[in-house]
Amino acid sequence: MATVSLKNLVKKYGHLEVVHAINLDVEDREFVALVGPSGCGKSTTLRMIAGLEPISGGHIHIGDREVNKLPPRQRNISMVFQSYALYPHMTVAENMGFSLKIAGKSQDEISAAVADAARTLGLEELLERRPSQLSGGQRQRVAMGRAIVRHPDVFLFDEPLSNLDAKLRMQMRTEIKKLHAKVQSTVIYVTHDQVEAMTLADRIVIMRDGHIEQVGPPEEVFRRPASRFVAGFIGSPTMNLHNAVVGAGKLVFANGDTLPLPQQFRDRVTEGQKVIFGLRPDDVYPAGHGIHSGEAAEVHSVEVPVSLTEPLGNETLVFAEFAGQDWISRMLNPKILRMGDRIKLSFDLSQSHLFDAATEKSLRG
Amino acid sequence: MNENQANDLKKMLLKFGHLLGLFIAMTIICLPGFWIVLSSLRPTVEIMAKPPVWIPQSLSFDAYIAMFSGVGQGGIPVLDYFRNSIIISVTSTVIALAIGMAGGYAFARYQFRGKTAIFLGFMLTRTVPGIALSLPLFFVFARLGIIDTHFGLIIAYVALNVPFTVWLIDGFFRQVPRDLAEAAQIDGCTRWQAFWQVEFPLARSGIASAGIFAFLISWNEFALASQLTRSTNSKTLPVGLLDYTSEFTIDWRGMCALAVVMIIPALTLTFIVQKHLVSGLTSGAVKG
Ligand SMILES: Nc1ncnc2c1ncn2[C@@H]1O[C@H](COP(=O)(O)OP(=O)(O)OP(=O)(O)O)[C@@H](O)[C@H]1O
Ligand SMILES: [Mg+2]
């Protein structure tokens, strides 16, 4: 059990700096997810924590030890690779017991630990097989088994589920959550799937181009994104984000259409300021087909034409044109709409987000 | 005739053609070997007969008996040659493999300055024919006083084989995913342990095939050996073949018999090692 702390951690490849002095403190037993688009430095950061990649600057602490220069084997960590990296010439049991064998444990101890982990992960039947004889999901499970057998201080996961199909991924997600509840270790989990991050993590770290954009619990990064980037990255379907200018207590969009300036931002913007207006699809719904956000709601309705619909069964995503752009809207209890139908679209402005167009930072206090 | 039947017929014809092609190819490959074995068993008149005598009239082991019956009675010091060949081939193969593994691993895993140039240089050394090297090597070896020694031939063969083993083994290490060694290090291995526990076992079949190649090259090499050896101290079997030539005659039967004696150990070794050449060992390491 241990904390992990990164202080001004830098990674350079030659002259190219790919991780720029990031700071992060992970609590003991906390589950932290690193998310961000491809190439933002998630894997690099994780590999630096693991000791697979030398660091170019800063400090890494695991527990109260500084591990900057320690090789992976002295860091007491486990890692699950995206490719699983199972040893093909060993059976499942040998794969899982390998770390204990290297540590010089007795055969009895190894068998007991492997059997224990196999029970936890439902692998008892497969212990004598080779990795090549396993399905993707089973390999994934063996990779996790290999990680938990040695009771490390910290688990590192690098996109462990990205090779699985959607259904299996959901199932394994639940299992990882259960596993964390059971083994109670500190976990750092890299993914580019924000749903995985939201469902699994105690805190989410959103990275972009080698910087950390925001750190916070899932509902905080969802409800109060600190920047336009986070707003666009977290949430599915993505938030509606459109440029506007503040004018006479209104938000004026490029084509001249307007929305009232949301109450909470009245004192936070200046006349003529360029802003980005954001509203999640849940908060812009065909009238009568959304969830009213209660007393504070500032609902503003506009009649607009439908440009496209995506029925999902229990709900329909409606693309409607307003202010010269498509807005995604989530329609609960859907009724059938056709292209060109005119609907009344309700904008719940109390749920809106406003970002400065230049800095892209949130204008919320 | 409907389309299905026509297709079936076409498939059968194709298969027949395929088998026939294979048969012809195999015959062409195997015939010389067969002819050598046959020639070692028949009298010289039959070997030299024109047109060739396809069905042997009389077969005997005379040539083999003569070969082993000692110098003076038509024999040659075949056991000495055999010993020299074994010592030189095995030692040079082991050394070439050791260097090949170190070099191949470095090429597969590490980035360093001039990597491509060095690699290309290795390959270029192999473009020089052995016979062209033999004279300069002779002078150098003569100065060093290592003409007609095992040591001399061993270093010549190591130099000959190293570029090749490095190149082959590099390819096999490249096929072992990097993740595996990293996973092993996380599981508590040092870099050295990770190599021996994970990467080496996975590249083993490739290393074995590089070993066979190196061994066969050393075992069969003639051009250098004929210049750098003098006596039973270091003469190898291919050079020993020349013992069957004299000023006016060539004992073809004896030569073929010695050739058979040379082929047998090489074939045996290839069969033994071939068992270990199981391919596809790396499958299942990573998704796919
Ligand atoms: N060995 C290397 N040499 C040079 N640049 C590298 C090297 N490895 C990674 N990079 C660069 O570092 C950046 C971060 O890479 P990293 O693998 O951490 O991305 P990531 O966030 O894990 O992306 P993904 O989601 O695609 O896995 C990328 O821009 C990449 O091109
Ligand atoms: Mg990555």
Same domain, A27 and A138: yes
- Decide if B287 is inside a domain: no
Provide DSSP, A154-191. EEEEESTTTTS-HHHHHHHHHHHHHHHHHH--EEEEE-
Residue in the structure block whose two tokens are 């905080």: A220
- CATH number for B218: 1.10.3720.10
- Residue A56's pLDDT is 95
Closest C-alpha to ligand 1, atom 19: A39
**% of chain B with per-residue pLDDT over 70:** 94
Among A99, A162, A168, A188, most B C-beta atoms within 10 A, so best to mutate, is: A99
Q: What is the pLDDT of residues A223-276, one digit of tens each?
A: 999 999 999 999 989 999 999 999 988 999 999 999 999 988 999 999 999 999
- Residue A269's pLDDT is 92
Same domain, A206 and A340: no
- Decide if A258 is inside a domain: yes
Contacts of B155 (CB under 8 A, 6+ apart): B92
Cα B200 to averaged position of ligand 1 atoms, centre (Å): 28
For B26, the domain range is 3-60
Same domain, A206 and A87: yes
Contacts B190 to A, Cβ<8 Å: 71, 73
- Decide if B84 is inside a domain: yes
Residue type, B225: A
Same domain, B270 and B173: yes
- Residue B133's pLDDT is 84
Instruction: Kindly tell me if the per-residue pLDDT of B282 is higher than 60.
Output: no
Q: Is the CB of A44 under 6 A from ligand 1?
A: yes
- Residue B76's pLDDT is 81
Same domain, B104 and B243: yes
- Residue B72's pLDDT is 67
Query: What is the C-alpha separation between A259 and A352, in angstroms, rounded?
Result: 11
- Residues of chain A short of pLDDT 50, as ranges, are none
- Decide if A232 is inside a domain: no
Contacts B283 to A, Cβ<8 Å: 88, 132
> Which of B60, B83, B105 delimits the end of a domain?
B60
Query: What is the C-alpha separation between B155 and A126, in angstroms, rounded?
Result: 50
- Decide if A234 is inside a domain: no
Q: 3-state class of A33 per DSSP? A: strand
- Chain mean pLDDT for chain B: 87
Closest C-alpha to ligand 1, atom 1: A13
> Which of B39, B60, B81 delimits the end of a domain?
B60
Question: The tokens of B8 are what?
Answer: 């079936």
Provide DSSP, A261-313. PPGGGTTT--TT-EEEEEE-GGGEEETTSS----TT--EEEEEEEEEEEEE-S
Instruction: Kindly tell me if the per-residue pLDDT of B185 is higher than 80.
Output: yes
Compute the average pLDDT of residues B12-34: 93
Rg of chain A, C-alpha, whole Å:
24
Residue in the structure block whose two tokens are 């090692």: B273
- Decide if B32 is inside a domain: yes
- Residue A290's pLDDT is 84
- Decide if A235 is inside a domain: no
Q: Which band of pLDDT confidence, cut at 50, 70 and 90, is reported for residue B280? A: very low
- Decide if B190 is inside a domain: yes
- Decide if B215 is inside a domain: yes
- CATH number for A263: 2.40.50.140
Compute the average pLDDT of residues B150-158: 94
Query: What is the C-alpha separation between B155 and B91, in angstroms, rounded?
Result: 9
- Residue B51's pLDDT is 83
Same domain, A134 and A214: yes
- Decide if A279 is inside a domain: yes
- Residue B218's pLDDT is 94
Same domain, B80 and B218: yes
Number of structural domains, chain A?
Answer: 2
Query: What is the C-alpha separation between B11 and B6, in angstroms, rounded?
Result: 9
- Residue A59's pLDDT is 96
CB B96 within 8 A of CB B157: yes
Residue type, B185: Q
Contacts of A42 (CB under 8 A, 6+ apart): A34, A35, A36, A158, A190, A192, A207
Compute the average pLDDT of residues B59-69: 83
Same domain, B74 and B210: yes
- Residue B154's pLDDT is 95
CB A77 within 8 A of CB A153: yes
Cα A43 to averaged position of ligand 1 atoms, centre (Å): 7
Q: Is the CB of A146 under 6 A from ligand 1?
A: no
Q: Is B279 touching A (CB cutoff 8 A)? A: no
Q: Is A96 touching B (CB cutoff 8 A)? A: no
Beta bridge partners of A243: A276
Query: What is the C-alpha separation between B208 and B186, in angstroms, rounded?
Result: 29
Render the burial of A127-163: b for 16+ CB within 10 Å, e for the rest. Answer: bebbbeebebbbbbbbbbbbbbbbebbbbbbbbbbeb
CB A364 within 8 A of CB A354: yes
Question: Could you list which residues have their CB under 5 Å from ion ligand 2?
Answer: A 43
For A22, the domain range is 4-225
Same domain, A39 and A72: yes
Query: What is the C-alpha separation between A94 and A101, in angstroms, rounded?
Result: 9
- Decide if A160 is inside a domain: yes
CB A279 within 8 A of CB A352: yes
Q: What is the pLDDT of residues B232-268, one digit of tens each?
A: 888 999 998 888 887 778 888 888 999 999 999 888 8
Phi, psi of B119 (to 5 degrees): -60, -45
Number of structural domains, chain B?
Answer: 2
- Decide if A316 is inside a domain: yes
Same domain, B91 and B46: no
Provide DSSP, chain B. --HHHHHHHHHHHHHHHHHHHHHHHHHHHHHHHHHHHHHTTS-HHHHH-SS--SS-S----HHHHHHHS-BTTTB--HHHHHHHHHHHHHHHHHHHHHHHHHHHHHHHH---TTHHHHHHHHHHHTTS-HHHHHHHHHHHHHHHT-TTSHHHHHHHHHHHHHHHHHHHHHHHHHTS-HHHHHHHHHTT--HHHHIIIIIHHHHHHHHHHHHHHHHHHHHH--HHHHHH--STTT--HHHHGGGGB-SS-B-HHHHHHHHHHHHHHHHHHHHHHHTT----TTTTSS--
- Decide if B288 is inside a domain: no
Q: 3-state class of A151 per DSSP? A: coil
Cα A20 to averaged position of ligand 1 atoms, centre (Å): 13
Compute the average pLDDT of residues B68-75: 71
- Residue A296's pLDDT is 64
Same domain, B102 and B153: yes
Distance of CA A144 to the CA centre of its chain: 20
pTM: 0.83
Q: How far is B3 from chain A (nearest CA, A)?
A: 39
- Decide if B125 is inside a domain: yes
Same domain, A284 and A178: no
Beta bridge partners of A190: A34, A158
- Decide if B169 is inside a domain: yes
> CB atoms < 10 A from the CB of A214, how many?
21
